[in-house]
């Protein structure tokens, strides 16, 4: 199992454990982490699973793809260098302990 910490906009931390291969979006939704919507189910169609990867983890999650970049154009909250669509970050052992921050709003 891989540990992920979601830091809500108000600072509340939720720590969950998810199986390898799960996306950061899926892991949040199936553990009832508020602040990730994932309306389209991970098809990269909605930009409602926006997250900011913690600075310490940036190198490990890698850069966002062009497609993600384009969808983030419509994100409800500010897009920064660390913005990702969490449906596109798949959990593997190298991401055990991952920390992501959640935006103020997704819709």
**Applying CB under 8 A, which residues contact another protein?**
26, 29-32, 34, 39-41, 43-45, 47, 67, 70-71, 73-74, 107
Run of H or E including 15: strand 13-18
Residue whose CB is less far from another protein, 26 or 83? 26
Going 30 to 15 to 76 to 46, the CA torsion angle's sign is negative
Give the SS3 label for residue 65.
coil
Q: Write down the least CB distance from residue 35 to another protein, Å.
A: 11
Residue whose CB is less far from another protein, 62 or 74? 74
């Amino acid at each position: 199992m891989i540990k992920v910490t979601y830091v809500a906009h108000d600072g509340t931390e939720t720590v969950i454990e998810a199986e390898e291969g799960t996306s950061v979006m899926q892991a949040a939704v199936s553990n009832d982490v508020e602040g990730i919507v994932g309306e389209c189910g991970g098809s990269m169609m909605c930009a409602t699973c926006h997250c900011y990867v913690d600075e310490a983890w940036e190198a490990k999650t890698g850069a966002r793809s062009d497609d993600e970049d384009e969808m983030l154009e419509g994100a409800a909250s500010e897009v920064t260098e660390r913005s990702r669509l969490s449906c596109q970050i798949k959990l593997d052992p190298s991401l055990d302990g991952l920390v992501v921050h959640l935006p103020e709003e997704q819709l």
